[in-house]
Amino acid sequence: MYYIGFVFYALAFASYFFVNEVYEIINQSYLLAQVLTLIMGGIYLYPLIIFLFICVFSVKTENAKKIIDSQTKLAASVSVSLGLIGTFQGLTAMVSSIAKSMGGSSDMAEKMNSMLNAISAALSAMSYAFLTSILGVAVSVLLMLSLNFWKFYFKERNSGLSVNRQCRNIHVQFDKNALET
Protein backbone atom coordinates (compact mmCIF):
# COMPACT_ATOMS: atom_id res chain seq x y z
CA MET A 1 0.00 0.00 0.00
CA TYR A 2 2.89 2.36 0.70
CA TYR A 3 3.89 2.13 -2.97
CA ILE A 4 1.05 4.53 -3.74
CA GLY A 5 3.19 7.25 -2.14
CA PHE A 6 5.79 6.61 -4.82
CA VAL A 7 3.06 6.65 -7.46
CA PHE A 8 2.25 10.26 -6.52
CA TYR A 9 5.86 11.22 -7.19
CA ALA A 10 5.86 9.36 -10.50
CA LEU A 11 2.59 11.00 -11.54
CA ALA A 12 3.87 14.45 -10.61
CA PHE A 13 7.03 13.85 -12.62
CA ALA A 14 5.14 12.45 -15.62
CA SER A 15 2.55 15.22 -15.53
CA TYR A 16 5.30 17.77 -16.15
CA PHE A 17 5.95 16.13 -19.51
CA PHE A 18 2.44 15.05 -20.49
CA VAL A 19 0.05 17.64 -18.96
CA ASN A 20 0.45 20.99 -20.65
CA GLU A 21 -1.02 22.97 -17.72
CA VAL A 22 1.46 21.50 -15.24
CA TYR A 23 4.30 22.17 -17.66
CA GLU A 24 3.19 25.80 -18.05
CA ILE A 25 2.75 26.42 -14.33
CA ILE A 26 6.17 25.04 -13.44
CA ASN A 27 7.97 26.78 -16.30
CA GLN A 28 6.27 30.13 -15.67
CA SER A 29 7.01 29.79 -11.98
CA TYR A 30 10.64 29.06 -12.82
CA LEU A 31 10.85 32.10 -15.13
CA LEU A 32 9.29 34.45 -12.59
CA ALA A 33 10.64 33.02 -9.32
CA GLN A 34 13.66 30.90 -10.16
CA VAL A 35 15.06 30.55 -6.65
CA LEU A 36 11.71 29.78 -4.99
CA THR A 37 10.87 27.20 -7.65
CA LEU A 38 14.20 25.41 -7.23
CA ILE A 39 13.92 25.44 -3.44
CA MET A 40 10.40 24.01 -3.61
CA GLY A 41 11.65 21.31 -5.98
CA GLY A 42 14.36 20.40 -3.46
CA ILE A 43 11.82 20.42 -0.64
CA TYR A 44 9.59 18.11 -2.67
CA LEU A 45 12.43 15.61 -3.16
CA TYR A 46 13.70 15.74 0.45
CA PRO A 47 11.07 13.41 2.02
CA LEU A 48 11.34 11.04 -0.95
CA ILE A 49 15.08 10.67 -0.35
CA ILE A 50 14.50 9.98 3.34
CA PHE A 51 11.81 7.39 2.64
CA LEU A 52 13.90 5.69 -0.04
CA PHE A 53 16.71 5.39 2.50
CA ILE A 54 14.27 3.88 5.01
CA CYS A 55 13.00 1.39 2.42
CA VAL A 56 16.40 0.42 1.02
CA PHE A 57 17.83 -0.29 4.47
CA SER A 58 14.55 -1.82 5.77
CA VAL A 59 14.42 0.49 8.74
CA LYS A 60 10.95 -0.21 10.14
CA THR A 61 11.33 1.31 13.56
CA GLU A 62 9.08 3.73 15.38
CA ASN A 63 11.92 6.26 15.24
CA ALA A 64 12.11 6.02 11.44
CA LYS A 65 8.35 6.49 11.26
CA LYS A 66 8.61 9.62 13.41
CA ILE A 67 11.42 10.97 11.24
CA ILE A 68 9.57 10.55 7.93
CA ASP A 69 6.38 11.90 9.50
CA SER A 70 7.99 14.99 11.00
CA GLN A 71 10.24 15.76 8.03
CA THR A 72 7.45 15.40 5.48
CA LYS A 73 5.14 17.63 7.52
CA LEU A 74 7.97 20.13 7.90
CA ALA A 75 8.61 20.12 4.15
CA ALA A 76 4.89 20.62 3.47
CA SER A 77 4.75 23.56 5.88
CA VAL A 78 7.88 25.15 4.45
CA SER A 79 6.57 24.85 0.89
CA VAL A 80 3.34 26.64 1.83
CA SER A 81 5.37 29.29 3.67
CA LEU A 82 7.61 29.83 0.65
CA GLY A 83 4.51 30.17 -1.52
CA LEU A 84 3.21 32.79 0.87
CA ILE A 85 6.52 34.65 0.81
CA GLY A 86 6.39 34.61 -2.99
CA THR A 87 2.86 36.00 -2.83
CA PHE A 88 3.98 38.89 -0.66
CA GLN A 89 6.99 39.54 -2.89
CA GLY A 90 4.74 39.64 -5.95
CA LEU A 91 2.18 41.91 -4.33
CA THR A 92 4.92 44.25 -3.10
CA ALA A 93 6.36 44.44 -6.61
CA MET A 94 2.88 45.15 -7.98
CA VAL A 95 2.21 48.00 -5.55
CA SER A 96 5.68 49.39 -6.20
CA SER A 97 5.21 49.43 -9.98
CA ILE A 98 1.84 51.15 -9.69
CA ALA A 99 3.22 53.70 -7.22
CA LYS A 100 6.07 54.57 -9.60
CA SER A 101 3.59 55.37 -12.36
CA MET A 102 1.69 57.83 -10.17
CA GLY A 103 4.55 60.30 -10.01
CA GLY A 104 6.39 61.90 -12.87
CA SER A 105 5.82 64.69 -15.31
CA SER A 106 2.60 66.48 -16.16
CA ASP A 107 2.73 65.48 -19.85
CA MET A 108 -0.38 63.35 -20.45
CA ALA A 109 1.19 61.13 -23.14
CA GLU A 110 4.13 60.37 -20.89
CA LYS A 111 1.82 59.61 -17.97
CA MET A 112 -0.27 57.23 -20.11
CA ASN A 113 2.88 55.44 -21.29
CA SER A 114 4.04 55.18 -17.68
CA MET A 115 0.65 53.78 -16.60
CA LEU A 116 0.68 51.15 -19.38
CA ASN A 117 4.18 50.06 -18.34
CA ALA A 118 3.02 49.92 -14.71
CA ILE A 119 0.04 47.75 -15.64
CA SER A 120 2.33 45.35 -17.48
CA ALA A 121 4.70 45.17 -14.51
CA ALA A 122 1.76 44.76 -12.11
CA LEU A 123 0.39 41.82 -14.11
CA SER A 124 3.80 40.16 -14.11
CA ALA A 125 4.05 40.67 -10.34
CA MET A 126 0.57 39.22 -9.85
CA SER A 127 1.58 36.17 -11.89
CA TYR A 128 4.63 35.80 -9.64
CA ALA A 129 2.41 36.03 -6.56
CA PHE A 130 -0.17 33.50 -7.68
CA LEU A 131 2.20 31.00 -9.24
CA THR A 132 4.38 30.78 -6.13
CA SER A 133 1.26 30.24 -4.01
CA ILE A 134 -0.05 27.55 -6.34
CA LEU A 135 3.31 25.80 -6.42
CA GLY A 136 3.65 25.91 -2.62
CA VAL A 137 0.19 24.48 -2.03
CA ALA A 138 0.63 21.82 -4.74
CA VAL A 139 3.92 20.63 -3.25
CA SER A 140 2.35 20.54 0.21
CA VAL A 141 -0.66 18.52 -0.95
CA LEU A 142 1.48 16.01 -2.84
CA LEU A 143 3.78 15.58 0.17
CA MET A 144 0.90 14.97 2.56
CA LEU A 145 -0.76 12.48 0.20
CA SER A 146 2.51 10.58 -0.16
CA LEU A 147 3.03 10.58 3.61
CA ASN A 148 -0.44 9.17 4.14
CA PHE A 149 0.49 6.08 2.13
CA TRP A 150 4.09 5.85 3.34
CA LYS A 151 2.81 5.28 6.86
CA PHE A 152 1.45 1.91 5.69
CA TYR A 153 5.08 0.78 5.37
CA PHE A 154 5.31 0.86 9.15
CA LYS A 155 1.81 -0.51 9.77
CA GLU A 156 2.58 -3.62 7.70
CA ARG A 157 5.51 -4.31 9.99
CA ASN A 158 3.49 -3.74 13.14
CA SER A 159 0.65 -5.99 12.00
CA GLY A 160 3.20 -8.69 11.22
CA LEU A 161 4.67 -8.40 14.68
CA SER A 162 1.29 -8.66 16.32
CA VAL A 163 0.58 -11.86 14.36
CA ASN A 164 3.96 -13.25 15.46
CA ARG A 165 3.20 -12.35 19.08
CA GLN A 166 -0.20 -14.01 18.85
CA CYS A 167 1.40 -17.16 17.45
CA ARG A 168 3.98 -17.18 20.25
CA ASN A 169 1.26 -16.68 22.86
CA ILE A 170 -0.72 -19.58 21.42
CA HIS A 171 2.45 -21.70 21.41
CA VAL A 172 3.22 -20.77 25.04
CA GLN A 173 -0.35 -21.57 26.08
CA PHE A 174 -0.15 -24.87 24.23
CA ASP A 175 3.11 -25.72 26.04
CA LYS A 176 1.57 -24.85 29.43
CA ASN A 177 -1.44 -27.05 28.72
CA ALA A 178 0.84 -29.89 27.63
CA LEU A 179 2.86 -29.62 30.86
CA GLU A 180 -0.25 -29.61 33.04
CA THR A 181 -1.63 -32.85 31.56
Write the pLDDT tens digit of every residue in 129-160.
999 999 999 999 999 999 999 999 998 655 54
Q: For residue 172, what are the CA distances in angstroms to 23, 125, 175?
A: 61, 71, 5
Instruction: Report the SS3 class of residue 146.
Output: helix
- pLDDT > 50? residue 165: yes
The share of the chain scoring above pLDDT 90, in percent, equals 65
Q: How far apart are the first and last CA of the chain?
A: 46
Rg of the chain in Å (alpha carbons):
26
Instruction: Report the SS3 class of residue 89.
Output: helix
Task: Determine the average pLDDT of the residues in 69-81.
Answer: 97
Q: Which domain holds residue 147?
A: 3-180
* 89 CB-side CA count, 13 A: 15
The share of the chain scoring above pLDDT 70, in percent, equals 83
Overall pTM > 0.75? yes
Alpha-helical regions (H) of 19-107: 20-32, 34-56, 62-102
CA pair distance 58, 34, nearest whole angstrom: 36
* 86 CB-side CA count, 13 A: 30
- pLDDT > 60? residue 49: yes
CA pair distance 116, 114, nearest whole angstrom: 6
Are the CB atoms for 125 and 91 separated by under 8 Å? yes
Mean pLDDT of the chain, nearest integer: 86
CA pair distance 59, 85, nearest whole angstrom: 36
Are the CB atoms for 136 and 80 separated by under 8 Å? yes
Q: Which residue has the higher pLDDT, 42 or 114?
A: 42
Task: Please count the structural domains in the chain.
Answer: 1
Most confident of the ranges 64-73, 105-114, 147-156: 64-73
